[in-house]
Structure 1
Amino acid sequence: MFLGTGFVVADGSKVITNAHVTAKKLDGAHLERFAVFYRDEQKEQMQVAELRATDEDHDLALLSVEGRALPALEIGDSQRVREGEQYAFTGYPIGMVLGLYPVTHRSIIAAISPNAIPAIASNQLNVNMLKRLQTPFDVFQLDATAYPGNSGSPLYDIKSGKVIGIINKVFVQGSKENAISNPSGITYAIPSEHIKTLLNQNAAQ
């Protein structure tokens, strides 16, 4: 089952993705495991992974892969990002439907805004939304279209390759199905400063 996108960081044995990507409870009795798939020398490869830590507040998850170290991306300084700058994100839109071929989109930072989207009516409020309203943090709003499967994609500087954020959600108009049939063209990314914090907190793992 394809759950989303991730990217390798640190020493090549750690993978960052979204917490909601790894939220599926594994069935140990039926030997379910997390795994990382990638292409190398035109061949599909797979390495088993273990979930090491999650940061639910910032929708981040840290996994470690078994086996050889993989090429890692460098984490950049998200606090230097400004509106209007151009970046790119690479991932697997619509899961494995397009095969194991990563897709890259260009995007500008349309806005840097709190992670709380206003509710139109009081009946749309829920516990998670109220929590975000009480403890908001800034996220990057992008003018590009991401799809289910892009969750966990790295948002990076096109010239340096440094990661300045991670795709975590799309603004959906109406039902979830509309994310594919009628995308809003508004995507959000979590700044990479929160990735650095998660890595520092779990440096020994």
Structure 2
Amino acid sequence: MDNEFNDENKSQNKGLNEPHIPQEIDAVIVESKSNSDSSGSSGFSGYSSYSSFSAPSSPKPKLSKKLAGVVALCLTSAMIGGLTTVTLLPRIYPNLLSSNQTALTTSSLSPISTVSNSSQFPVTQIAKTVGPAVVGVSNFQSPQNRFSRQNSSSSGLQEAGTGSGFIIDAQKGYIVTNNHVIDGAQKITVSLSDGRTLDAKLVGADARTDLAVLQISDTKNLTAVTLGDSTKLEVGASVVAIGNPGGNDFARSVTTGVISATNRTLDIQGESSFGLIQTDAAINPGNSGGPLVDYQGKVIGINSAKYAQSGFEGMGFSIPISDALPTIQQLIQKGVATHPALYVSINDQYNTYAQSNNLPQGAYVAEATSGGPADKAGIKQGDVITKINDTTIQNSSDLVRELYKYKVGDKISVTFVRSGKSQVVQATLGEINSNQ
């Protein structure tokens, strides 16, 4: 299962409201083919062919003995002069030959063996180290109709979808995946790298962050991942994605790429709570819940979505592991995740109206729950929240992402516009959990 979003998705399911992206013309490389290539050869085309020819021979002139002696003397002097120059040149210009030494020594006819640097190209080692910690996750639900029995279990449940996950605690059998991978599951199974398929228990799930934690009881020979720090990511850094695209037939597939961007936003439930990592490493249906790994073999993200609009490729998105970890820890400890909240309902349709009427962009308060933090701070229906502390807010996603940076009970400054006038109030953040 994967969060795929495209033009069709805008009016379906999650009601995505994506910005229009101008269509681009693909660059086309035209290769000219030589008309003389009629043999069907698969070699390069577009090159002219030349016929070999022999020049007519002419008699070689004979040198006199005197002239031969002069020629020999000149050749000997030239050789001595050349050797002297080669010997003295490094002493006179010590840096002249050093820069060209490699080119001189490698321009031989024999093939040169290249030894790969494991610190720069450790993909094989990453696959060996992290691969065993990646699992396949199957979501079983009741069949939609009595004729649908494909991939059904003995209990009559049908495999509704598959995804990926990774072992975060080998001793206790904890596995991290996406909430949308296991959403609605009546039974969950996990396939391990050693061939075992085990039933898994849902420890906790949180739709607001699209995260879930599973647990398996048989912890024999499990391998856990090492977590990295996603707050220190750099655009252009190499990464590896590992998962089960298309299900267990392609289990633990490894794809490589780079970090294309950080702090990307998507209007998808769960993913909208984070500034996401964008990568061009191939992310396909079934990769959801699998790890995005840096070149030190540490997990820096949880693969969660891909851009599936026609004409686009290489646009996958991952939840930063440092942002996800607090929710994961809560799910393990309490079975639910709690988040800070203002207890307001936001209507983003206001922003379209605001653009047309030269009004400030922000999070339009459609309702403030009575007795909630916003209501207590004096925020009312019709107010437009424009800042949380010093951070600008332009829509509901901005508001959620910013609030999730704080803790329940934290005091924040809320700037809002009412009747054209800006006001600032103090609010104490309340609590909302996974079950609400």
Which TM-score band (shorter chain)?
A: 0.7 to 0.9
Distance 1:152 1:203 in 2: 16
Does structure 1 residue 192 correspond to structure 2 residue 321? yes
Does structure 1 residue 71 correspond to structure 2 residue 223? yes
Does structure 1 residue 9 correspond to structure 2 residue 168? yes
Distance 1:173 1:203 in 2: 36
Distance 1:5 1:138 in 2: 21
In the other structure, the counterpart of 2:390 is none
Deviation at 1:113, TM superposition (A): 2.7
Deviations 1:137-160 (A, max 9, x none): 31001112211111111001233x
- In the alignment, residue 319 of structure 2 is paired with which amino acid? I
Question: Larger Cα Rg: Structure 1 or Structure 2?
Answer: 2
Deviation at 1:102, TM superposition (A): 1.4
Matches within 5 A, 1:154-173: 154-159=291-296, 161-173=297-309
Out of 116, 131, 136, the residue aligned to residue 266 of structure 2 is 116
Q: Evaluate the alpha carbon distance shift between residue 204 and residue 11 of structure 1 in structure 2; reply closer, same or farther with a 3 A threshold.
A: farther
Does structure 1 residue 84 correspond to structure 2 residue 244? no
Q: Aligned pairs, how many?
A: 173
Distance 1:55 1:202 in 2: 8
SS at match of 1:87: strand
In the other structure, the counterpart of 2:200 is 49
Deviations 1:31-70 (A, max 9, x none): xx21110222xxx112211111112222111111111252
1:145–1:183 contact (8 Å) kept in structure 2: no
Distance 2:209 2:246 in 1: 23
Distance 1:53 1:194 in 2: 17
Deviation at 1:100, TM superposition (A): 5.5
Could you say what the CA RMSD is over the residues aligned between the two structures, in angstroms? 2.4
Q: Greater RCO between the two (CA within 8 Å, min separation 6)? A: 1
1:34–1:50 contact (8 Å) kept in structure 2: yes
Distance 1:153 1:52 in 2: 18
Q: Evaluate the alpha carbon distance shift between residue 48 and residue 194 of structure 1 in structure 2; reply closer, same or farther with a 3 A threshold.
A: farther
Question: Aligned residues: percent identity?
Answer: 29
1:146–1:187 contact (8 Å) kept in structure 2: yes
Distance 1:188 1:115 in 2: 9
Q: Tell me, which stretches of 5 or more residues in structure 1 are unaligned?
A: 27-32, 118-126, 175-181
- In the alignment, residue 199 of structure 1 is paired with which amino acid? I
SS at match of 1:34: strand
1:75–1:196 contact (8 Å) kept in structure 2: no
Out of 174, 177, 182, the residue aligned to residue 22 of structure 1 is 182
Distance 2:322 2:164 in 1: 19
Out of 255, 264, 285, the residue aligned to residue 148 of structure 1 is 285
TM-score, with structure 2 as normaliser? 0.37
Deviation at 1:195, TM superposition (A): 3.2
SS at match of 2:223: coil
Distance 1:35 1:198 in 2: 23
Larger strand fraction of residues: 1
TM-score, with structure 1 as normaliser? 0.75
